[in-house]
Amino acid sequence: MEKAKVILVMLCGVITASPSVCAQELAEAYHDQFLTGTAISNDTLSKALPATDTPVCKEFNAFTAENAMKWQSLQPRDGEFDFSLADKLFELADRCGASVIGHTLIWHQQTPEWVFKDEKGAEISRKHLLERMKEHIYTVAGRYKGRVLGWDVVNEALNDDGSLRDTPWRRIIGDDYLIQAFRFAREADPDAQLYYNDFNLYKPEKVAGAVRLVHQLTDAGIDISAVGMQGHYSLFYPELSAVEESIKTLISAGTKVSLTELDVSVLPVPEESFDGADVNQRYVADPLYDPYRNGLPESEQKRLADVYEGLFSLFVKYAAHIDRVTLWGTSDDESWRNNWPVRGRVDYPLLFDRNGQPKLAYKVIVKKAP
């Protein structure tokens, strides 16, 4: 029998047959369980790209654009596309041997107002908006066809009670706008994985809504590859058992699960009922809610590590059904949690500190890997 040919490629300065040679620690530790990703900010993409010996390249094998592939970044004006930052994401991924997740094709946030209006400022028709949706998805997904592992096709379409949000997409097109978006995405890139992505999916009512969406898409003949559970968590919420129940519910619905935007805030919440990741939530700055401006105490580092250990142990438990765990950023200095829901706070939600050094949470989950 003829021996299989091994194609060697040059990545990270090393001749290798592995597409993820740069991922030497965290991603390698969980290599047999799931992809381990990070979000790449516009600031990172606007400068000289990270070297291959930095945590971005060494620790992760899946990249998601934090903002560079959202509608307002790619098509700020009708028919005027700007792929400069998105293209640099793919350049970085090629350099690091990482997969790319497209985020996001359809969202009610960070979508310019012109998308929903005519030249006189009046709301456009269902037919017109469907044409704009199709053109955008065909152009964007078509450009990166074969280079994207999967797309967050629709982002945050559900209220916490599981009902559909009253967004311009829904008001103009109707409840079937998700089906239309997924259909266009599948036509534009037949081989890409397709995801629905949302926050607070540890809440039973909301995860039930996600299950309904999965069934509606399946009934429409559309294969949804995974549901993305945004992991914008805190030391104060959610209960690990609630996250597990939601994972089990989605598995029972016949879909895989991705943990798509994982970070764990250590800061006090502005009010007892606060949770979630709605970017419209804003609170006035108060020193009471920003207690760690001079550094995170060792006791809080331990609490953060305990939360991450519990989460990664849970993800490993269901690894057969989890395809990816993506941290929403690499180091604390670049996290959106520093400015949400209160601007200018100092938060510590990620695995690397502001100097790019691994924190106790990082060390614990690497050590505890199977």
Q: Which residues are designated catalytic?
A: 156, 261
Dihedral sign (CA 207, 208, 209, 215): positive
Neighbours of 159 (CB within 10 A): 14
CA dist 39 and 321 (Å) reads 22
How many angstroms separate the Cα of 155 from the Cα of each of 335, 349, 359? 20, 22, 30
CA neighbor of 36 nearest in space, from 241, 308, 279, 224: 308
For the purposes of burial, counting CB atoms within 10 Å of the CB of 209, is it exposed (0-12), middle (13-18) or buried (19 or more)?
buried
CA dist 198 and 156 (Å) reads 4
CA neighbor of 103 nearest in space, from 144, 146, 163: 144
CA dist 157 and 214 (Å) reads 13
Q: Which residues of 9-44 are buried (b: 16+ CB within 10 A; e: fewer)?
A: eebbeeebeeebbbbeebbbbbbebbbbbbbbbbeb
How many angstroms separate the Cα of 9 from the Cα of each of 12, 140, 150, 152, 216? 10, 28, 23, 29, 43
CA dist 139 and 327 (Å) reads 28
Dihedral sign (CA 53, 54, 60, 63): negative
CA neighbor of 53 nearest in space, from 10, 90, 22: 22
With H, G, I as helix, E, B as strand and everything else as coil, classify residue 15: strand
CA 155 to chain centre: 10
- The amino acid present at 252, given as its one-letter code, is S
The residues with which 101 forms a beta bridge, in sequence order, are 64, 150
